[in-house]
């Protein structure tokens, strides 16, 4: 039986939510091409990167890859999430600035 992963609402709110259009495009892409690219990242049984990909893969029974990372606590997870997102090209500068301001104490 495949392991189930969960979404922590606090961690999910760290990253900006995808727009409806972005979600639709992601779902179409997964249905057309299957799961490609970076694995879904988990800490213990909690998804920390790939919430939307995980949701659509589960919804449509699309096989996906998981990579488990080790952290000491949730604060360390949040720091990793922010660093990972800041390095991605899909965030505009305003989103990056807002993210850093929101989590300045953790950084």
User: Cα angle at 67 between 72 and 96, to 5 degrees?
Assistant: 70
CA atoms of 24 and 43, how far apart (whole Å): 27
| pLDDT for 82 | 82
Q: Which of 17-26, 40-49, 70-79, 82-91 is predicted least confidently?
A: 82-91
| Single pTM value for the model | 0.78
Instruction: Report pLDDT digits (tens) over 39-62.
Output: 999 999 999 999 999 999 999 999
- List pLDDT tens digits, range 87-103: 655 656 666 666 667 66
**The pLDDT value given to residue 12:** 85
């Amino acid at each position: 039986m495949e392991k189930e992963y969960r979404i922590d609402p606090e961690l999910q709110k760290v990253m900006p939510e995808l727009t409806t259009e972005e979600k639709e495009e992601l779902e179409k892409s997964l249905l057309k091409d299957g799961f490609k690219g970076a694995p879904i990242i988990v800490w213990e049984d909690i998804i920390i990167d790939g919430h939307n990909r995980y949701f659509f893969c589960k919804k449509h029974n699309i096989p996906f890859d998981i990579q488990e990372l080790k952290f000491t606590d949730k604060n360390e997870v949040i720091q990793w999430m922010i660093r990972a997102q800041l390095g991605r090209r899909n965030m505009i500068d305003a989103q990056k600035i807002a993210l850093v301001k929101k989590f300045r104490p953790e950084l």
